[in-house]
Amino acid sequence: MGASTSTRFGARSSRVLLFLGLAIVAFLSIFPLVWMVNFSLLKSGDFFGSNVLKWPDPFQWVNYKNAFTLGHVHAYLLNSVIVAVVVITVTVIVSLMLSYVIARMDWKWNVYLSGLVMVCLIVPIYSTLLPNFFIFNKIHLIDNYFSLILPNIAFLIPLSVFIFIGFLQTTPRAIEEAAVIDGLSLIGVVFRIIMPISKPVIASVGVLAFLNTWNEFIMAITYISSDNYKTLPFSLIQFTGQYASNYGAQFAVMTLIALPLVVLYMLFTDRITNSLTAGAVKG
């Protein structure tokens, strides 16, 4: 009886410590977002002091107006949307087709193609900046939508293929075999059979591509110089020089950039986790 009581007490203590640890991790994860939103609603004079968080009195919504006017958020937002939509669409289609070739078709180059895709996962972005700059400059793609779209797609395809392969290896072939017997072509199998049953994975890959493209800055600042093609992260650079002390508008820009990412990640976090787990197990 004494040993049983001690065991239950130990288990209860472990759960309390686990919940306490998770609560601390959750607080540390959420606090930077709360801090950023709080500061985006303060006057510039309220930033200095000992308080980490301050109640805005009154709420400085003008910071968001300044974010659009001084930070050119409205112009850069359109460029970010264009780049993100094209990158997501092409990445999903190419990754799905390539994954099908690797996971479903038996041919002699299959192993080499699979190995090449996996090797591409470990290529760092920084090692490609200078070579890509010379190549894009030579073929006149510098300062162009394509100078952002192409490298983003190239870096997203390996991870996306990895996720698609993990899903396809858990999917039975019976439906495809029946479709082929009925006369459906290979392209038809991919787009009329595989694509509909891969909707959860497509959603995950799309969200990951959006997160990566929306946040990307190092390639944008390397390949883009014209305002016509700059993306949202460039809005923060507008607050150098005479606008450097406008901290409220800078925090408003950061909030506007982060908000779509937070909402999307909260909506699709389960699908992203499940897709990555499936790929890891089968890989």
Sequential pLDDT tens for the chain (283 residues): 566 677 777 778 888 888 999 999 988 888 888 888 888 888 877 777 777 777 887 888 888 888 888 888 888 889 999 999 999 999 999 999 999 999 888 888 888 888 888 888 888 888 899 999 999 999 988 888 999 999 999 999 999 998 898 888 888 888 888 888 888 888 888 888 888 888 888 988 998 899 889 888 899 999 998 888 999 888 888 777 766 777 888 888 889 888 888 888 788 777 766 666 655 544 4
Name the residue type at position 267.
L
- The Cα 257–Cα 270 span in angstroms is 22
- Torsion of the alpha carbons at 273, 277, 100 and 112, rounded to the nearest 10: 130
The reply to whether 128 falls in a domain is yes
The reply to whether 249 falls in a domain is no
pLDDT attached to residue 75:
84
The reply to whether 276 falls in a domain is no
**Under DSSP, is residue 283 helix (H, G, I), strand (E, B) or coil?**
coil
pLDDT attached to residue 211:
87
The reply to whether 46 falls in a domain is no
Quick check: 260 and 214 in contact, CB under 8 A? Answer: yes
The reply to whether 174 falls in a domain is yes
The reply to whether 196 falls in a domain is yes
pLDDT attached to residue 98:
92
The reply to whether 283 falls in a domain is no
**Residues whose CB falls within 8 Å of the CB of residue 177, separated by 6 or more in sequence, listed in order:** none
The reply to whether 204 falls in a domain is yes
**What domain range includes position 131?**
72-238
- The Cα 68–Cα 194 span in angstroms is 42
Domain count, the chain: 1
pLDDT attached to residue 274:
67
- The Cα 128–Cα 130 span in angstroms is 6
- The Cα 278–Cα 35 span in angstroms is 35
- The Cα 151–Cα 224 span in angstroms is 13
- The Cα 226–Cα 5 span in angstroms is 71
pLDDT attached to residue 266:
80
The number of residues in the chain equals 283
| Residue 133, domain CATH | 1.10.3720.10
Residue 124, judged by CB atoms within 10 A of its CB (0-12, 13-18, 19+), counts as exposed
**Under DSSP, is residue 162 helix (H, G, I), strand (E, B) or coil?**
helix
